[in-house]
Amino acid sequence: MSKLVAPHGGKGLVCALLEGAERDAELKKAEGLKQIDISARAKGDLIMMGIGGFSPLSGFMNKADWKGVCDNFQMADGTFWPVPITLDVSAADAAAIAEGDEIALVRNGVTFATMKVEEKYEMTEADKKWECEKVFMGEGEESVDGKFWEIAPEDHPGVIMVMAQKEFNLAGPVKVLSEGEYPEEYPGIYLKPAETRAMFDERGWANVAALQLRNPMHRSHEYLAKIAVEVCDGVLIHSLIGNLKPGDIPAKVRIKAIEILIDKYFVKENVYSAGYPLDMRYAGPREGLLHATFRQNYGVNNMLIGRDHAGVGDFYGLFEAQDIFDRIPVTGDSGKDLLCRPMKIDWTFYCYECDGMASLRTCNHDKDSRVILSGTKLRKALSDGAEVVDHFGRDEVLTHLRAYYEGLTDKVEVKMQSAASGDTM
């Protein structure tokens, strides 16, 4: 009998992925359906619905769900969900599709799913702006005092993506037919929720924490993971292997860095490295909630949330992604509420006076004694060929990352924000 937290939504793992003869028959049927090209974001969302990562979702959201999620973190039936999962199509495609039709969802020539269209609804510019304000507007200096719409249309990847969406959304259940490149490109890393749950059960874990990574694992990440190892049965180091913004470090490079760290600096039996196939939305606090929601499906009941989790620029408050967990609705129904809880860790750093890793809760020394650690700051130094300060990262990892940057022919300028520089400490 598993001791792990139940999947989100009260229905077990809801998996829309077809296999074997059933998949073959659906692929054949898809050849005769209207073909709809989908975005990279929708591809990742489909794969997560396929493998049960987005349980209890079995398709793209209708307007009532979209509105409820944006407005109050709840779908129409009261189930918690923090970020809209929607499929956009052009006005021309929407006009050619009737409710009740089946369509094929395709990207780069690959049929990823079929979908039965149950609803289509228009997304006006006002609707898109409202979604952006609800999902992406935070409490940071680039979101307040009327600055959000001055800065976000050019500098916030999530806002840019939503505002570029087509004129209509389609809603309805899907049958997923492909997991894309992930099984072949990331063997042993790309794992389905059923697989991580089986692994946790095999190890006898009941209390599991997840560390979300989109940057190379530096000393602060290592420290967070080790805090969780001390108080939980084990830690899932869970890397994003979908698309990032330009200038971020590719998944394979980051995963190799994690392997180096686990091999040399962890008790291997207490940690596990894996990846998930989503694109980053850079939704800060809302994305922190999304990370906790789908980690619950992977068998995780504790989500490590540190400084500026899933942030971009200075759109979010430093610990807004922690505070938002205290503001989400709670119905008392374990099948509808979020059960994965945050492990709230203060700003962490290396302190020369403490002679080790510390946080604002444990270190009483001044800022000059501290090495401020952040993924953005590390990428900035490596991209510029600058010296990386002692105690920022493990030497073996830095050697690996420098080799990656030395091999780049085109580099993207890394923008520093106040959270990453330490100016706001």
pLDDT in tens, 257-287: 999 999 999 999 999 999 999 999 999 999 9
Percent of the chain with pLDDT over 90: 83
Confidence label for 49 from pLDDT (cuts 50, 70 and 90):
very high
Residues 6 or more apart in contact with residue 403 via CB below 8 angstroms: none
Given 107, 169, 197, 215, which residue is catalytic?
215
CA 166 vs CA 38, 128, 134, 395: distances in Å? 11, 10, 19, 46
User: Which pLDDT score is estimated for 411?
Assistant: 65
The reply to whether CATH 3.10.400.10 applies to domain 20-123+165-178 is: yes
Predicted confidence at residue 206, as pLDDT, reads 98
**pLDDT beyond 80 at 415:** no
Alpha-carbon torsion 208, 262, 245, 46, what sign?
negative
Q: What is the mean pLDDT of the chain?
A: 93
The pLDDT assigned to 250 comes to: 87
pLDDT reported for residue 212: 92
pLDDT at 372: 82
324 φ, ψ to 5°? -65, -25
Q: Could you tell me the pLDDT band of residue 422, with boundaries at 50, 70 and 90? A: low
* Residue 243: band (very low, low, confident or very high) from pLDDT cuts 50, 70, 90: confident
Mean pLDDT of all residues in 18-33: 98
Residue with tokens 């006076």: 353
Q: For domain 188-421, give its CATH number from 3.30.930.10, 3.40.50.620, 3.40.50.1820, 3.40.30.10.
A: 3.40.50.620
Write out the two tokens for 30. Answer: 């898809």
Spatial neighbors of 11 by CB under 8 A, at least 6 apart, are 55, 56, 335
SS3 at position 115: strand
Range in 68-77, 186-195, 252-261 with the lowest mean pLDDT: 252-261
Say which residues have a Cβ less than 8 Å from residue 47's Cβ, sequence separation at least 6: 53, 112, 176, 178, 179, 180, 182, 277
The C-alpha angle with vertex 235 and arms to 395 and 336, in degrees rounded to 5, equals 140
* Confidence at residue 408, expressed as pLDDT on a 0 to 100 scale: 81
Non-local CB neighbours of 61 within 8 Å, separated by 6+ positions: 69, 75, 84, 85, 86, 169, 171
Q: Residue 104 region, left (φ>0) first, then alpha (ψ -120 to 50), else beta?
A: beta
pLDDT at 136: 98
Quick check: is 243 catalytic? Answer: no
Question: What type of residue sits at position 103?
Answer: I
Strand extents, DSSP E, 166-281: 168-176, 208-213, 234-240, 271-276
**Each residue's pLDDT tens digit, 322-351:** 999 999 999 999 999 999 999 999 999 999
- What are the Cα distances from residue 145, in Å, to 70, 260, 277? 22, 44, 36
What is the biggest distance separating any 2 CA atoms in the chain, rounded to whole angstroms?
Answer: 69
pLDDT at position 300 over 60? yes
- Tell me: pLDDT of 158 over 70: yes
Q: Where are the domains of the chain?
A: 20-123+165-178, 188-421
Q: Which of 41, 107, 197, 214 is catalytic?
A: 214
Q: 421: pLDDT confidence band, cut at 50, 70 and 90? A: low
Share of the chain above pLDDT 70, in %: 96
Task: Clarify whether 302 is annotated catalytic.
Answer: no
